[in-house]
Amino acid sequence: MQAKRTRENMPDRETRLMAAVKAEAPKRQAARVLNRVTRQAALRSAMRLRGSGGFTLIELLVVISIIALLIGMLLPALSSARNAARKAVCLSNIRQNGLGMIYYSEEYREWFPVVYWANQNQVFGKQHVYGGMASLYNLYNVLNTGSPGQYADGNTTPLLRGFVVDAGTLHCPADNITNTDGSQKPGEPMEVVQARELEGDRDDLKKTPGVNYWNISYLYIAGLRTDEPTPVAMLADETNWIDEGVRAWDRNGKKGYAEDDNHGKEGANVFYNDGHGAWKGNDTFLAIFDYMIDVRGTTDNIETID
């Protein structure tokens, strides 16, 4: 009889159990939701703390390492691009001055500028007396040991006046130093300062000195004509040595350009008497003088000046 009542009551127990489970379900669901919300809130809080508190030490080290690696990869490329840009500007400058000399030659029977000297047998040994290449632009340059403001024949007009009009074209952007041999002025090497004006103001040379040896980055080979039998170099990057004759490229037996010259030991930009300009590697540059001897038979009737 008791067993019968127990079996009869089983459905009621199952019903109550199911009812209890159903009653607890919302609570468990709510607990899960609360737990999830709590975790998300904690995660957001951690992210906010990290954003305001910075990176961990390991993260900082990783970032620094990546930046250092990128810089190491970019610097050579940037340096190469900078050097290429300097060479391009330098070549443009040489071309502008070279073309000015070609325009000059059209009015002077194919001769490029040559400073007058009374004794014609000495003319190519005296191109430096009035300041070298600077005298072609500025007769008030500091090395004019002849007669400031004029040439030996009394001419007071610089030979290239009107043919070259921009003083900036005489400065190579890679030129940072001059006078390393001390030949122009005793003392330490000088920093190159770009000239603002071609001609000096004789009433205030301290304020407006014009073109001088310290702001010319190029050298000129005087004594050539436009109608030489074959193209020969007439204008090129200077050296910081004695720029007379071919000694400019001979530092006590060391031939060619040196590390402290405009483009270092790489070479130089060169302008030729036929009107074209080009880059010449240091290993082949000196051959232009051998070439000139082959063409003219000698280099005695030219003088290199800067």
**pLDDT score, position 120:** 82
Tokens (6 digits) for 270: 């060169």
Q: Is the pLDDT of residue 21 over 90?
A: no
**What mean pLDDT value characterizes the chain?**
79
**pLDDT score, position 61:** 85
Q: How far is CA 46 from CA 41, 51, 53, 162, in A?
A: 9, 9, 10, 74
How many C-beta atoms surround the C-beta of residue 7 within 10 A? 9
Average the pLDDT over 116-134 and give the result: 86
Lowest mean pLDDT, pick from 58-62, 96-100, 191-195, 290-294: 290-294
How many C-beta atoms surround the C-beta of residue 103 within 10 A? 13
**276-306 residue pLDDT tens:** 999 999 888 777 666 666 655 555 666 777 7
Q: Is the pLDDT of residue 27 over 90?
A: no
So where are the chain's domains?
88-305
**pLDDT score, position 53:** 57
Contact 262, 282 (CB under 8 A): no
Strands 303-305 and 254-255: unpaired
**pLDDT score, position 195:** 84
